[in-house]
């Protein structure tokens, strides 16, 4: 009833290829954007900003980057966190070497570095396929984290190898560092995430998207219809690592404020991978749903026993959380291997014909 698509005719191919051929989808997205841009910021507490809203956005962005590589181009990567690290460290070096540089520019530039590193580690992808490639991406994961720890130049010779974000002003407003207001940081993150998401949607629905998907679905056929596989895979590595790197820089500079090298270790890589899987490989919106789930889960696990009067210690919460995530992954793979995004699609198909299913 609410999702009735009858009467929405397209009179040109351009219109048929527009982002929201169905009007209701556009309205729904409008509501989501309204919440993200106006309602949440007006109602959220500082704590909610720091521990929920901003991490959700940063995780979503990182998962989006991984999804370009794994979900769209079909190259499984287990080294996402290391590329986030490259972005964060690159950003740190940029703002210490060029203190005058605008922080937004620095963050967007730092993606270029992770992109370059991503392409370097993506080069073997033409000869190494499938699981072998997945293991090869672990080489990047372990090597890069080791490098963050050992190469003290990266952290400006901080003995622990950690990076600490100084106070950074932009147009007279403090946007990063201990003095920054969470709401300012939230808007900056939201703006960058929105921008990159739009560009990614465009890339994946057009010709480049088809090239990646063809590479993913059947690489031999893709090559025989004229796709340069090396180029297709390397552009996927480049775009993916760029987004992941920006996500890392955003996360550290505008949300966390500091990070040690081992923050970018393999558990973070897995976390991002789960978000992408649970959200749905080959989907853009799924990353946001997955990130919300992953961030909300420990909160729910913590508050649920509280609500019914059970005492539960923080370590147990953490363990239960890990266990639940594991169980959820298996659950989703069995019920719907394409994740929350596909689940939503199915619901939508049902809604279109509801309440008269014939």
Which 214-233 residues touch another protein, going by CB under 8 A?
214, 216-218, 220-229
Q: Give 30 or 267: the residue with its C-beta nearer to another protein.
A: 267
Q: Which of residues 71-110 bind another protein (CB under 8 A)?
A: 76
Secondary structure string (H, E, C) spanning 111-144? HHHHHHHHHHHHHHHHCCCHHHHHHHHHHHHHHH
| 211 lies in the binding site for another protein (CB under 8 A) | yes
CA distances from 309 to 227, 304, 306, 312, 319 (A): 60, 9, 5, 9, 20
Shortest Cβ 48–another protein spacing (Å): 26
Choose between 182 and 290: whose C-beta lies nearer to another protein: 290
Which residue in 202, 300, 303, 349 binds another protein (CB under 8 A)? 202
* Per-residue mark of binding to another protein, 22-61 (x: CB under 8 A): ----------------------------------------
How crowded is residue 63: how many other Cβ atoms within 10 Å of its Cβ? 32
Q: Which is nearer to another protein, 93 or 216 (CB)?
A: 216
Q: Residue 82 CB, nearest distance to another protein (Å)?
A: 10
For residues 95 and 252, what is the distance between their CA atoms, to the nearest angstrom? 13
User: What is the biggest distance separating any 2 CA atoms in the chain, rounded to whole angstroms?
Assistant: 69
| Shortest distance, position 90 Cβ to another protein, whole Å | 20
Structure tokens belonging to residue 256: 């966390």
Nearer to another protein, 299 or 322 (CB): 322
CA distances from 125 to 107, 134, 224 (A): 27, 10, 18
Q: Which residues contact 323 (CB under 8 A, 6 or more apart)?
A: none
Is the alpha carbon torsion for 139, 144, 149, 152 positive or negative? positive
**Mask for 249-268, x = binds another protein (CB under 8 A):** -----------------x--
Residue 71's Cβ-count burial label (10 Å; 0-12, 13-18, 19+) is buried
Residue 15 CB, nearest distance to another protein (Å)?
Answer: 9
What lies within 8 Å, CB to CB, of 211 at 6+ separation is: 222, 227, 232
Kindly identify the residues of this chain, within the stretch 161-200, that bind another protein according to CB under 8 A.
199-200
Shortest distance (Å) from residue 56 CB to another protein: 20
Binding mask 330-349 for another protein (x = CB under 8 A): x--xx--x------------
**Minimum distance from residue 224 beta carbon to another protein (Å):** 5
Is residue 196 within 8 Å of residue 115, measured between CB atoms?
Answer: no
* Closer CB to another protein, 256 or 328, in the complex: 328
Angle CA 283–285–290, to nearest 5: 90
Near another protein in 115-144, by CB under 8 A: 124, 127-132, 134-136, 138-139, 142-143
Q: Is 235 in the site for another protein (CB under 8 A)?
A: yes
Nearer to another protein, 98 or 132 (CB): 132
- The answer to whether 177 touches 166, Cβ cutoff 8 Å, is yes
Q: Contact at 8 Å (CB) between 275 and 60?
A: yes
CB neighbours of residue 297 within 10 Å:
16
Which CB, 137 or 185, lies closer to another protein? Answer: 137
Kindly identify the residues of this chain, within the stretch 267-286, that bind another protein according to CB under 8 A.
270, 273-274, 277, 282
Number of residues that bind another protein (CB under 8 A): 74
Beta carbon nearer to another protein, 49 or 72: 72
- Kindly report the backbone phi and psi dihedral angles of residue 4, in degrees, each rounded to the nearest multiple of 5, phi listed first: -65, 125
When the beta carbons of 183 and 230 are compared against another protein, the nearer one is: 230
């Amino acid at each position: 009833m609410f999702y009735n698509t009858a009467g929405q005719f397209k009179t040109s191919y351009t219109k048929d290829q527009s982002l929201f051929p169905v009007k209701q989808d556009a309205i729904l997205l409008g509501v989501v954007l309204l919440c993200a841009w106006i309602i949440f910021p007006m109602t959220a507490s500082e704590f909610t900003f720091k521990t929920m809203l901003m991490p959700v956005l940063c995780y979503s962005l990182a998962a989006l980057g991984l999804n370009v590589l794994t979900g769209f181009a079909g190259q499984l990567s287990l080294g996402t966190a290391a590329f986030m690290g490259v972005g964060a460290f690159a950003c740190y070096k940029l703002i210490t070497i060029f203190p005058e540089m605008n922080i937004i520019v620095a963050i967007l530039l730092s993606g270029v570095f992770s992109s370059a590193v991503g392409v370097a580690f993506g080069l073997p992808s033409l000869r190494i396929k499938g699981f072998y490639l997945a293991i090869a991406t672990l080489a990047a994961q372990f090597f890069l984290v080791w490098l963050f720890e050992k190469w003290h130049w990266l952290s400006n010779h901080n003995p622990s190898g950690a990076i600490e974000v100084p106070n950074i002003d932009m147009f007279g407003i403090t946007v990063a560092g201990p003095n920054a207001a969470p709401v300012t940081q939230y808007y900056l993150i939201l703006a960058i995430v929105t921008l990159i998401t739009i560009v990614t949607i465009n890339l994946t629905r057009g010709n480049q998207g088809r090239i990646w998907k063809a590479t993913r679905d059947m690489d031999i056929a893709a090559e025989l219809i004229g796709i340069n596989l090396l180029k297709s895979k390397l552009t996927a590595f480049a775009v993916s690592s760029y987004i992941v790197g920006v996500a890392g820089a955003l996360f550290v500079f505008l949300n966390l404020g500091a990070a040690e090298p081992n923050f970018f270790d393999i558990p973070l890589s897995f976390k991002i991978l789960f978000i992408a899987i649970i959200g749905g490989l080959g989907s853009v919106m799924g990353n946001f749903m997955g990130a919300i789930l992953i961030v909300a889960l420990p909160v729910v696990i913590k508050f649920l026993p509280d609500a019914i009067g059970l005492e539960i210690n923080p370590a147990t919460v953490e363990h239960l959380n890990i266990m639940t995530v594991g169980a959820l992954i298996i659950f989703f793979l069995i019920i719907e291997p394409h994740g929350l995004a596909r689940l939503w699609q199915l619901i939508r198909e049902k809604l279109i014909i509801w309440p008269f299913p014939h």
